[in-house]
Chain A
Amino acid sequence: MKARVRLFAILREKVGASELTIVLPEHSTVADLMKEMAHQYPALLDGIAHTMVAVNTEYVQQSQLLHDGDEVALIPPVSGGAPDIQTGDTI
């Protein structure tokens, strides 16, 4: 099966691509995909611990089963919106 993987922000820069196609055995999970991606793109290893995963635009757990044609997105920590005025945090 093939998964279409979308990469954003720091992960996109580390890999040097915004989209990849990863071939996996049938009945693979998100965890299997992450393992395969870390193998193919060692630059991802640093960031992967901080990464959430969405399948077809919904957040999922590592145990989620993948299906052929799924759109998987690796979501590094988000930082949209506005600065926090009270604490000075930047997210």
Chain B
Amino acid sequence: MILLTRKPLDPDAITATVHGDANGGIVTFLGATRNETAGRRVLYLEYEAYEDMAEKILARIAQEIKERWGITDVSIAHRFGRLEIGEVSLVVAVASPHRAEAFAACQYVVDRIKQDVPIWKKEFFENGEVWVGMEGHPRPLSVPR
């Protein structure tokens, strides 16, 4: 299941989508919004998504772990819009017959999401706001991967 939504994510319900009788290992990663960045207190965050493209690339990432680990039971859910501190922004649930593949595939998905899925995060501080990723990560116009 691939899901982009403004509504709160339900990790249990998302994890349930990958359960299966053949799966002995189920790994669910939760990404949550953090209250500080580089010593500055974060008040809240906003995520913005290019929804059509993000869904397409998330589906491609799911296909990549199928090719690499043979895993078909994967769900990726990303929330966007305004999130308060401590809320869940990302849920990645992966299930496979054995745990090693589930751990590896889950980490792979989380790492891949940060590479080229068009979702942006803005942090709001007491005295300012910043789009994360614009400082210190110059990247020339190019095709990733």
Name A's B-contacting residues (CB within 8 A): 6, 8-10, 12, 34, 47-54, 57, 59-62, 73, 75-84, 90-91
Contact = CB atoms under 8 A, between A and B. Distances in A.
A57 B52 contact: yes
A82 B89 contact: yes
B48 A51 contact: no
A6 B49 CA distance: 12
A81 B115 CA distance: 10
Contact of B118 (A12, A34, A50, A78): A78
Given A8-B50, A54-B53, A57-B56, A79 B133 contact: yes
Given A78-B119, A78-B120, A91-B137, A52 B142 contact: yes
A82 B106 CA distance: 13
The size class of the interface chain B forms with chain A is 35 or more
Contacts of B122: 9
Of A6, A8, A34, most B-chain CB atoms within 10 Å:
A8
B34 A8 contact: no
Contact of B141 (A9, A52, A80, A83): A52
Interface in B76-121: 78, 89-90, 110, 113-121
Contacts of A73: 50, 53, 118
Contacts of A50: 134, 137-140
Interface of B is mostly: mixed
B69 interface: no
Interface of A is mostly: loop
A76 B132 CA distance: 10
B142 A79 contact: no
Nearest to B80: A80
Contacts of B52: 57
A90 B141 contact: no
B124 interface: no
B129 to A, nearest CB: 10
Nearest to B120: A9
Nearest to B89: A82
A82 B139 contact: no
B50 A61 contact: no
Given A61-B142, A75-B50, A80-B78, A54 B113 contact: no
